[in-house]
């Protein structure tokens, strides 16, 4: 147990879990006819044209997608970083600089994941050619996904420490405690799924 707490960052786990998340997202995108329609044509030429389509702030998506859905994606990818960081996974919200260092690292991971999802070789730009049509690729996702995700992580950490713990103390039912954790910490729960853990798992207790 001591070794797991003091070991370095678990790159293999973080990359595999992020890859699992990426594959799931793009797999769901492939269910849409709009994405499948864009798979024909020269890959690199279309991909480069899509990347060059990154202009302006908006991307044509609705408010809910850009300012709720994408931040949730940022929070999930950030929690993947956290759960693979032995120095950060047990940190709880507070003034301890170690907590904030951990969550800033998660912000960086979320920014890298978001950039790959939007512009990388396995991205919306390469699989579906998002960006070729004017107005379909903007800076909103590259900015709001990690920053909004950072905010969601802090909010879920606050809820976990100050609200979920109190609710758990009022019941002896494991199922009820699990429900509180999943319902009030959805991003952390999804990140647990991508490491093949129970959705309600907590590294801090």
- 29 pLDDT above the threshold of 70: yes
Question: Is the residue at 174 inside a domain?
Answer: no
122, 156, 151: which is closest to 15 by C-alpha? 122
DSSP, residue by residue, 159-201: HIIIIIHHHHHT---HHHHHHHHHHH-HHHHHHHHHTT--TT-
Question: Is the residue at 47 inside a domain?
Answer: yes
- 69 pLDDT above the threshold of 80: yes
- At 178-205, the pLDDT tens digits run 999 999 999 999 999 999 999 999 998 9
Judged by phi (left if over 0) then psi (alpha if -120 to 50, else beta), residue 93 lies in: beta
Question: Is the residue at 35 inside a domain?
Answer: yes
Task: Specify the pTM.
Answer: 0.92
88, 84, 120: which is closest to 104 by C-alpha? 88
Question: Is the residue at 90 inside a domain?
Answer: yes
Q: How many domains does the chain have?
A: 1
Q: Which residues have a Cβ under 8 Å from the Cβ of 102 and sit 6 or more positions away?
A: 82, 85, 87, 88, 91
Structure tokens, 7: 């070991």
Question: Is the residue at 176 inside a domain?
Answer: no
- At 141-164, the pLDDT tens digits run 999 999 999 999 999 999 999 999
Domain that holds residue 90: 9-152
Question: Is the residue at 71 inside a domain?
Answer: yes
Q: For residues 117 and 185, what is the distance between their CA atoms, to the nearest angstrom?
A: 23
Question: Is the residue at 181 inside a domain?
Answer: no
pLDDT band at residue 37, thresholds of 50, 70 and 90?
confident
Across residues 21-39, what is the average pLDDT? 92
Question: Is the residue at 196 inside a domain?
Answer: no
- At 53-65, the pLDDT tens digits run 999 999 989 999 9
Given a contact cutoff of 8 angstroms between Cβ atoms, the answer to whether 87 and 52 are in contact is: no
């Amino acid at each position: 147990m001591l070794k797991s707490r003091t070991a370095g960052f678990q790159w293999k786990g973080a990359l595999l879990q992020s890859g699992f998340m990426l594959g799931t997202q793009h797999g769901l995108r492939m269910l849409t006819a709009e994405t499948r329609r864009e798979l024909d044509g020269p890959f690199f030429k279309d991909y480069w044209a899509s990347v060059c389509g990154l202009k302006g702030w908006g991307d044509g998506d609705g408010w809910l997608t850009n300012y709720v859905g994408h931040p949730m994606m940022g929070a999930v990818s950030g929690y993947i970083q956290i759960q693979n960081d032995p120095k950060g996974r047990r940190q709880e919200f507070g003034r301890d600089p170690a907590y904030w260092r951990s969550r800033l690292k998660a912000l960086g991971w979320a920014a890298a994941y978001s950039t790959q999802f939007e512009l990388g070789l396995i991205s919306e730009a390469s699989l579906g050619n998002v960006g070729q049509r004017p107005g379909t690729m903007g800076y909103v996702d590259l900015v709001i996904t990690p920053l909004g995700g950072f905010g969601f992580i802090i909010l879920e950490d606050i809820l976990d420490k100050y609200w979920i713990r109190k609710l758990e103390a009022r019941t002896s039912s494991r199922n009820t405690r699990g429900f509180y954790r999943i319902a009030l910490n959805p991003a952390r729960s999804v990140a647990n799924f991508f490491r093949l853990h129970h959705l309600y798992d907590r590294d801090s207790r």
